[in-house]
Structure 1
Amino acid sequence: MPEIQLIIRRTIKPIRIGKLESVMTPGVFIFISMIFYVTSSYSLQRLCKKLEIKPTWLSWTPFSPVLMYKAGGQAWWWFILLLFPFIQFIALIVLLIAWVRIFQRSGWKLAIVPLISSILFEVSIGGSILLFIVSFMTSSPPYKMAVEQVKQNSMVVESLGKPISTGWFVQGNLTTSFDGGSACLVIPVSGSKTKGEIYVDAQQQNGEWNFRELVVEVEGRNEPIVLAAPPPGSQGSLCF
């Protein structure tokens, strides 16, 4: 069966979802990415015309690093090595050396715009992908069901304090297919008193999501708050 599987890891400090969504969406990031793309491509094309590096139209394609290497006096095939893990580190160092030479040849006024806009373009593309994945995860039924139950549980509310907010960067994986699915999520949560994490183990059968396990671990509390536990005699949690 066709399957979609998305796995994301929490690596940064959680940010409240409401604050993030009110400022940034995947669409906004894509729009910003397009601005940086046009700026970097056009400015690189101008730079290459001055340095007589051809073909200048490559600046508008994914092969634009070829022009950067050539403009910096390096072999174009270093671009190919960017595609291979481990070796790409060396290729990046060579690219950095190429940019140093580009600055020496053209001056910083002409070279600074394509350099900075190219970096910002790559960052914005990564941000667009990240926000799309986060949006997919936080709009999924198991995520919404878990957060709703947590906010309605009096023991959780008492332990965390009101208002309860969730972090936007979720750890875990979500798998869906035509005949079922599963979700193993760790959702950052915080209140006015302290913070914690929601552990979600959910299964989808016949289009319906059900929790195998739903647990909230509160910072400073010895025992976790169990909202749903695996049935007796089962294998237990499939996630944690």
Structure 2
Amino acid sequence: MRAPLGKELLYSGVLCAGIGPLLYYFIQKGLSRTEYYQMALEQLHSHTKALEALGSPLTVHRLPMLSQDHSVDINSAQLKIPVSGPKAKGHLYTRSSRGAPFQRWHLQEVILKLQDGQQIPVFRRSEAEK
């Protein structure tokens, strides 16, 4: 015997409402574990001027999933990572690349842009390294 259409719609709605946040969580977790994301945050954590501008403790926020500031493909990645501290808020703009699939990622550039307009270059790969 088949359930009434109303119940099927209700169950489908509950299922979709539960899957959406779960999927968002796993995408966030996956991105935060990528090599290019981790390398950018390591650069931020080791940059004295950037840390002084933000203050301590530093908070790294979730990436907005629908942002046009993110671009990741097989050989390049660009992210805009929201960060904040007690003194300031801003975004960490990162660019990374790799020569071919399954090779290591290399940071190209990391820039901290604060809400007040200040820009702090955190990392830039030199031409000699490329």
Q: TM-score, normalised by structure 1?
A: 0.45
Instruction: Give me the CA root mean square deviation.
Output: 2.2
Residues 106-158 of structure 1 show CA distances to partners (whole Å, capped at 9, x for unaligned) of xxxxx5xx554432211122223222222221110010011111112111111
Alignment partner of 1:212 is 2:108: yes
CA distance in structure 1 between the partners assigned to 2:63 and 2:13 by the alignment: 23
Alignment partner of 1:225 is 2:120: yes
- What letter is aligned with 1:213? E
The alignment covers a number of residue pairs equal to: 120
CA distance in structure 1 between the partners assigned to 2:25 and 2:87 by the alignment: 28
What residue in structure 1 maps to residue 61 of structure 2? Answer: 167
What residue in structure 2 maps to residue 128 of structure 1? Answer: 22
Residues 175-229 of structure 1 show CA distances to partners (whole Å, capped at 9, x for unaligned) of 23xxxx2111010111122211000110113622222211011122x33111223
Q: TM-score, normalised by structure 2?
A: 0.78
Alignment identity in percent? 25
Change (3 A) 1:182 1:151: same
Q: Which 5+ residue runs of structure 2 have no aligned equivalent?
A: none
Q: Which 5+ residue runs of structure 1 have no aligned equivalent?
A: 1-44, 49-67, 69-98, 100-110, 233-240
CA distance in structure 2 between the partners assigned to 1:122 and 1:154 by the alignment: 45
CA distance in structure 2 between the partners assigned to 1:148 and 1:117 by the alignment: 44
- What letter is aligned with 2:118? E
Higher-Rg member (1/2): 1
2:49 aligns to what SS in structure 1? Answer: helix
What residue in structure 2 maps to residue 199 of structure 1? Answer: 93
CA distance in structure 1 between the partners assigned to 2:51 and 2:107 by the alignment: 20
Residues 213 and 230 in structure 1, CA contact (< 8 A), matched pair in contact too: yes
**1:231 Cα deviation from its structure 2 partner:** 4.9
Higher strand share: 2
Residues 58-104 of structure 1 show CA distances to partners (whole Å, capped at 9, x for unaligned) of xxxxxxxxxx3xxxxxxxxxxxxxxxxxxxxxxxxxxxxxx5xxxxx
